[in-house]
Structure 1
Amino acid sequence: MKKNIMPRFKPLDILIIFLVVAGGVFFTVRGAVRKGSRVSVNANGVHYEYSATANGVYKVAGELGETTFEIKDGRVRIIDSPCPNKTCVAQGWHNPLVCLPNKVMITVEGDGGAGAGVEQGGEFDAISE
């Protein structure tokens, strides 16, 4: 006699699995495109700060040349960079953005809601401690 070792899923099991997967996708996307009040840029050892409400296209000098990035509606993305493989450009509207060959790192900071790490008052939340 052959035993069936495959588990049998009931409708409630499938619903619970779906809700866990949907919640994971939601929180991943929400954290990746978090909006904030300021954009912090470290380029080749030099620190810059921009207002996240100042929509526009900006350039910073990295080790290989200029990295061009766009700030729009509290989000940021790299438009162009002199690095060879352009992985930083392919990241899209993401946080943080990193271009290793050009030594540029861009982060959205401030009142971006949950997961922002350090709050505006400089205090850590329970998760980041």
Structure 2
Amino acid sequence: MNTTRLKRWPRPLDAVIIIIAVLVIVLISIEVYGGRGSAARLLVQSEGRTFVYPLDQDRILEVKGPLGITTIEIRDGRARFVDSPCRDKICVAYGWLENPGEWTACLPNKVLAAIEDNSSKEASIDFLSY
């Protein structure tokens, strides 16, 4: 009777490949989801003007738009819309902006906020297109 033996798994080389794959995934995750440090800034645009605020200083911003005042809070290195004169308040419901590249806007009041890394020379979002 000829029986086939199942191969043992994992073999030593299999374990090495799995460890390398896990390390690569961890390193990529740290790069993508890692902290932004103190180098991030908040870009706010309203009425054709762009304002830049560092995220390392807690503050409340009052930004004037066509409908009235939009309130933006910067706290603990992140930012959010607290209040806006728009009807649906989708911008307020969006919540915190925490990472470079994240943005939100109050379209009725024409106020846009985006987080950007200080290393960028130009805004990563085309403010004119919203």
TM-score normalised to the size of structure 1?
A: 0.59
The corresponding residue for 2:106 is: 99
Structure with bigger gyration radius? 2
Structure 2 residue 68 is matched with structure 1 residue 61: no
What's the CA shift for 1:59?
0.6
Among residues 58, 73, 78, which one is paired with 1:75 in the alignment? 78
Partner AA of 2:109 in structure 1: N
Structure 2: which 5+ runs fail to align? 1-28, 123-130
Greater relative contact order (CA < 8 Å, ≥ 6 in sequence): 1
Q: 2:71, 2:87 → 1: CA distance?
A: 15
Q: Please tell me the root mean square deviation across aligned C-alpha atoms, in Å.
A: 2.9
Q: Is the 8 A contact 2:80 2:95 kept in 1?
A: yes
User: Does 2:50 align with 1:47?
Assistant: yes
CA contact (8 A) 1:34 1:108 kept: no
Structure with a larger share of its residues in helix? 2
Percent of pairs with identical residues: 41
Summarize the Cα distance change of 1:75–1:43 in structure 2 as closer, same or farther, 3 Å threshold.
same
Q: TM-score, normalised by structure 2?
A: 0.58
2:92 matched to which residue of 1? 89
1:109 to 101, 116, 119: 116
